[in-house]
Amino acid sequence: MKAEVFDQRFDQGETITEFLDLSQARRPGHESRAVTIDFPEWMLDALDREARRLGVSRESIVKVWLAERLERVS
Looking up residue 70, the CATH number of its domain turns out to be: 1.10.1220.10
Whether 40 maps to a domain, the answer reads yes
Task: Identify the segments of the chain with pLDDT beneath 50.
Answer: none
- What pLDDT, on the 0 to 100 scale, is given for residue 26? 87
27 within some domain: no
Which domain does 61 fall in, by range? 34-74
Residue 63 lies in a domain: yes
pLDDT at site 72: 95
How far apart (Å, rounded) are the C-alpha atoms in residues 49 and 68? 19
Let me know if residue 26 belongs to a domain. no
Residue 7 lies in a domain: no
> Is 21 among the domain residues?
no
Q: Give residue 13's pLDDT.
A: 93
Identify whether 22 is part of a domain. no
User: What pLDDT does residue 45 have?
Assistant: 97
With DSSP H G I counted as helix, E B as strand and the rest as coil, what are the percentages for the chain, rounded to 5?
60, 0, 40
